[in-house]
Amino acid sequence: MSDKPVILVTRKLPEAVEKRLGLDYDARLNPDDALYAKDELIERAKGAQGILPCHTEHFSADVIEQLPEEVKIIANFSVGYDHVDVEAAKKRGLVVTNTPDVLSDATAELTMMLMIGAARRASEGERLVRSREWKDWSPAFMVGTQVTGKRLGILGLGRVGQVVAKRARGFNMEIHYHDFQKLPPEVEEGAVFYENLEDMLPVCDFLSIHCNATPETTGLMNTERFALLPDGAIFVNAARGAIHDDDALIEALQSGKLGAAGIDAYNNEPNIDPRFAELPNTFLMPHIGSATAETRDAMGFRALDNLDAFFAGKEPGDRVA
């Protein structure tokens, strides 16, 4: 029997990550990339000292209570950890870690794609070409919204938000932001701070979401706040679907209050509200903000760094519980 710590890996990880994992751990891999239901997750965790999950596994208080006693750490393969009941984990003495920093560039790239794709009607255009319904060119054909020089509001100027701001400055965009506190001038780089979100929304030609999903931010973008945006504003969410209220967002898109939306994060993924797909002014991606080979490797190595520290008796660098 191996004396290496047993780690339950809930999804198929990059080859390089699984190879490194196998050097120091007895890894229970998921080569078929199956999605484990609650009961199967708990059953497979028997005999494991750690779990390396993704955001697709939900560790509610009920699940945490039923995990085998030998499980001591949940080392997430994700920067977000809203799928883990942190308070329940703390109560049980379960260590929880995440993978910050390493996916900021990839998520910022995806955010810019969502922004431009929504503004320039990319989904409509691609459908026309693929269906061979594109007939000709005219001055009135496929007219969208220009990104260059517009005002970008960023909700959460953290790691990803800061990179988005940097990329957006390449389009000469004027940066505005709301966060729980004003950041140092060297971090702001000229961005305008708003203590109250409601004060920022009226100046946002584009609004991009980059805050965590917490009880305070869940449903933050509701009917009243969408109404504060300029008519025709473009909404982008590459963070968490919980930040926006689906009914409010869809109503704003249907009414024309919002000109368009670029979305990579949804409520109830992957069973999203079907109305999003029916709207012509949505540019939709399947939660792929971190989906580059370089970033996925880096996320896995960061999760392994946290496991290595824990089993060496040290404090994991990315501990959140």
Catalytic pick among 176, 178, 287, 296: 287
Active site residue 240: yes
| Rounded (5°) CA angle 42-47-50 | 75
DSSP state of 150: -
Pairing of the two strands 174-178 and 151-155 = parallel
Q: How far apart are CA 275 and CA 263, in angstroms?
A: 13
Instruction: Note whether 158 and 176 are within 8 A (CB).
Output: no
The reply to whether 294 belongs to the active site is no
DSSP type of residue 244 = B
- H/E stretch holding 193 reads strand 192-194
For residue 145, what are the contacts with CB-CB under 8 A and spacing of at least 6?
A: 119, 120, 232, 234, 259, 260
Measured between alpha carbons, how far is 288 from 3 in angstroms, rounded to an integer?
37
- Name the helix (H) or strand (E) containing 96: strand 95-97
H or E element that contains 262? strand 258-263
Measuring CA to CA, how many Å separate 303 from each of 70, 95, 233?
19, 13, 38
Length of the chain in terms of residues written: 321
Q: If we measure between CA atoms, which residue out of 10, 71, 21 comes closest to residue 46?
A: 71
Q: In 3D, which of 205, 242, 251, 203 has the Cα closest to residue 224?
A: 251
Catalytic entry in 240, 244, 296, 302: 240
83 belongs to the catalytic site: no
Looking at 15, 198, 224, 269, which residue is catalytic?
A: 269
Backbone angles phi, psi at 112, to 5 degrees: -65, -40
List active site positions: 240, 269, 287
